[in-house]
Amino acid sequence: MAATLIKGSEISKQIKEELKQKIADLKEKHNVVPGLATVLVGEDEASKVYVGAKEKTCKELGIHSERIDLPADTREEDLLALVEKLNKDPKIHGILVQLPLPKHINGTKVLYAINPDKDVDGFHPVNIGKMMLGEPTFLPCTPHGILELLKRSGTETKGAEVVVVGRSNIVGKPITNMLLQKRGGNATVTICHTGTKDIAAHTRRADILIVAVGKPKAITADMVKDGVVVIDVGVNRLETGLVGDVDFETVKEKAKAITPVPGGVGPMTITMLMSNTVQSAKMHSGIAD
Ligand code: GUN
């Protein structure tokens, strides 16, 4: 059985079209324009690309975007003062401080300084706590995108055996939490990590397998069962090009559906950031969903 492709590039286009409409309605009916501030400290090339892509997507959708570029030697207290200013700015509904920050700045302190009600990254401990409790909050963008991919590809999560490989704070831990919520995925979720004795014994049980380990082709065909749905979060640059954490060519022969790399999970992250920003603008303006 050759797998269906779960194309994040197309699903994200569809979500962006829906957002464009919502943003136009907000402007027309409520005179509200969602606003996102992105803060970049230093000269990290990959971060510049990400921040540039976020700005471009804001423009495309009609979101007000403010980009603040600061030199690499910016003092922590100056960055904290900027965050405080953005916390108070009524035009700004979302604040994103691009990571990684230079080593002399305490990143945790900066992320904790962002008003949780403007934390569209979903990284603030208050929002992580709400997510764990199943309360409405900003969901971190990559796992939020994975939920949308599952939903929009018609993958049933209720009662499914989900196996997550990787326990990062940005992907593994939050997607595990979202999928176990009764009103999230209602799935049975197992999380595997470097301390797991026999990862393959777990992955072979999975109806849905989510992999975010940052190791090229770590999951091979012998580690999955027939008919599995595979979400590959990995982006690894090899001489031959980009590959995921899953050995796509062999696993796709057994899977029912699989995300490609590139064009799978990747395009969803910025799209869900835009969605969180719109959600924040509505919340700040007292507009119900
Ligand atoms: N650096 C890489 N990914 C992200 C992200 O999703 N948010 C922030 N703030 N920084 C990042």
- Ligand 1 pocket check for 97: Cβ under 6 Å: yes
Q: How many CB atoms lie within 10 A of CB 14?
A: 12
User: Can you tell me which atom of ligand 1 is nearest the CA of 121?
Assistant: 7
Pairwise CA distance, residues 70 & 130, whole Å = 32
Mean residue pLDDT of the chain comes to 97
Mutate to test the pocket of ligand 1, among 45, 47, 97, 98 (most ligand atoms within 8 A of CB): 98
Which residues have C-beta within 8 Å of that of residue 21, sequence separation ≥ 6?
none
Give the pair of three-digit tokens for residue 218. 């770590």
Q: Say if ligand 1 is within 6 A of residue 160 CB.
A: no
Q: Give distance in angstroms: CA of 134 to centre of ligand 1.
A: 23
Residue 96 Cα: closest atom of ligand 1: 9
Tell me: the pLDDT tens digits for 99-158?
A: 999 999 999 999 999 999 999 999 999 999 999 999 999 999 999 999 999 999 999 999
What confidence score (pLDDT) does residue 2 get?
Answer: 83
Q: How far apart are CA 30 and CA 288, in angstroms?
A: 12
Give all domains of the chain, ordered by start, each with its CATH number. 30-116 (3.40.50.10860), 141-266 (3.40.50.720)
Question: Residue 286 above 80 pLDDT?
Answer: yes
pLDDT value at residue 1: 65
Quick one: which of 94, 75, 31 has its CA closest to 277? 94
